[in-house]
Amino acid sequence: MSEMKVAEQRTKGPRAITRVLDLLLLLADERDGLSLSELSAALSVPKSTFLDTLRGLRDQQFLLHEDGRYRLGPAAFKLACRISTNWSVSDMVRIQVNALARETGESVGFAIADWEIGQAIYTEAVNSVHPVRYAMQAGLRAPLYASAAGRVLLAYGPTSRVDDYLAHARFKSLTGATRTTGPLIREHLATIRDQGFCASFGEMLSDTAAIAVPILGPDHHNMGAMMLAAPLDRMKANYDRFLAAIIRAGDSVSTG
C-alpha cells in the first residue's frame, strides 16, 4: 500500500476528528494565524494529508485563509460564543470533581480563597465511597497555610494578597508536620509553582493526605484549587495514580 493511501486512511474516523480539534485548539492561541508548513510541523501531519481538511474547514468558515496563513473564522467564534453562553467554569469544575471522585473512589473538592478570613472555602465536594474517608462538604473551610488546597491558592494567588496574609496570619501547629513559619511556607509555595501541584501528608490532619492542583483561567488567573483527599495509608499506596488523575482533571478545566 502506498504512503499516500496510508495517510488518507489515517485521516478517516476518530483520528481525523482529533486532528481537527487539535487544529482549532492550536489556532485559538495564534491570533496572527499559522502557515500550512507551520501547522504541518506543529501537528505532525503531512501537508498533502492536511489540505482537504483545511479546505473543508475554510468552506464551513471555521477557518480563514489569508496571506498564506490560516486563522480561526467566524463559525469558530460563533461556536465559542454558544459554548460560553450555555456552559460555565463552575459547570466544568463540577463535572470534573464528580468524575475524579468516581475514578479514584476518594473525596474530591474545589476550593476558593477567602482572603479576609485566611481560609480556603469548598464550593464543590464529593465524598469517598469508602467507610473510612476524609469527610467533604460544600462550605467546609480549611486554613490557607495548612491545607493542600489552601497552599495552592497561596502559590497562585495575587502577590499583594499573599504577602499581606503571610505577614499577618497566625500559624498554629495542627500536627507535628504543619509548616508554621513564613519562610518555610514561602519555600513550599515556590515548589508548588515549579511542580504544578501540592502534596500534603499529615499536615492538617495527622491521618490524612491530600493533593491539590490549580484551576487557571485564560489569563493564567487562578480561579481555585481542586483537591483529592484520602487516609494516609491509601494515599501512599495509590499516590502516583491519584496524582496523575487529579493533574488530568485540573488540566481539563484550566484554560490558562
54 with 179, same domain: the answer is no
122 with 102, same domain: the answer is yes
pLDDT tens digits for 111-159?
A: 999 999 999 999 999 999 999 999 888 999 999 999 999 999 999 999 9
What is the rounded CA–CA span in Å between residue 226 and residue 125?
A: 10
76 with 125, same domain: the answer is no
245 with 128, same domain: the answer is yes
The DSSP-derived string for 66-110 is: ETTEEEE-HHHHHHHHHHHHH--HHHHHHHHHHHHHHHH-SEEEE
pTM confidence score: 0.74
What is the rounded CA–CA span in Å between residue 107 and residue 136?
A: 6
- Percentage of the chain exceeding pLDDT 70: 94
Start-end of H helices in the chain: 3-10, 14-28, 36-43, 47-59, 74-86, 89-104, 148-155, 159-168, 182-195, 232-253
pLDDT tens digits for 72-103?
A: 999 998 888 887 777 677 888 999 999 999 99
Question: Which residues 6+ apart lie within 8 Å of 172 measured at CB?
Answer: 178, 180
Q: For residue 35, give its domain range.
A: 3-85
pLDDT above 60: residue 11: no
213 with 164, same domain: the answer is yes
49 with 176, same domain: the answer is no
Q: Which CATH number is 204's domain given?
A: 3.30.450.40
Only one residue has cell 504577602, namely 163
107 with 58, same domain: the answer is no
